[in-house]
Amino acid sequence: MNHLDLLTFARGDALNWALILFAAGVVLRLFEIFGLGRKADLAKPRTNSPGSGWRTVFTRSLPPQGLLNREPVTYVGGYVFHLGLFATILFFAPHIEFFDDLFGISWPNLPSALVDASAVAAIVALCVLLAHRITNPVKRMLSGFGDYLAWALTLLPLLTGYLSFHHLLFEYTLMLSLHLFSVELLLVLLPFTKLFHTFSVFISRWYNGDIFGRKGTAS
């Protein structure tokens, strides 16, 4: 199979199957989460409980008081990575064209140079966070295969996308194919790895905030 055939496969059947498996996996995991149910709380809720779930979704996105000074690498690196990833995925012109073809919607793109810088920032932040995880005794002890797998699955699309955009390492068609395959691998495995927090993080934050709000305590 030559490079052009490989790219055609990556853009066609491989992408279609990846999207199908991704959608099925997300639906299955969400069904598992919501299928657990929730016992009825018969206690009278506190007066300050309304909206506590939604407030927690926002407040948990901010570092707790004092922890930013104690763990600057974790929080600063995390924010830089997520913002860089967000900008790269949603505001790169070719990506917007892809979403337009897939969903029929589009929006203004950012300048390529800014998206490129965002991708580099996200890659550097990922590498710094990995080094911090490895060198920190507690985090190294708590880390397992799933953590490193999630890291690699996230890095590969960013790295291969950067290399293909700049025509580095391999011939452009091959590099673009590898970029697409890395995205498809991420899509297939995301629902079954720790990367599923992309969906579950806001659900869990709302759930915890709502429960603690009914009890009149901070979550």
Cβ contact 219:212 at 8 Å: yes
Report the chain's mean pLDDT, rounded to a whole number. Answer: 87
pLDDT digits (tens, 9 = 90+) for 193-216: 999 988 888 777 777 666 666 665
43 against 164, higher pLDDT: 164
pTM: 0.85
Three-state secondary structure string covering 143-212 = CCHHHHHHHHHHHHHHHHHHHHHCCCCCCHHHHHHHHHHHHHHHHHHHHHCHHHHHHHHHHHHHHHHHHH
Q: Please say whether the beta carbons of 76 and 104 come within 8 A.
A: no
Q: At what angle do helices 3-11 and 13-35 cross, to 10 degrees?
A: 30
Q: How confident is the model at residue 184 (pLDDT cuts 50, 70, 90)?
A: very high
Choose between 93 and 70: higher pLDDT.
Answer: 93
CA distance 88 to 127: 17
Query: Helix or strand or coil: residue 36?
Result: coil
pLDDT reading at 44 higher than 70? no
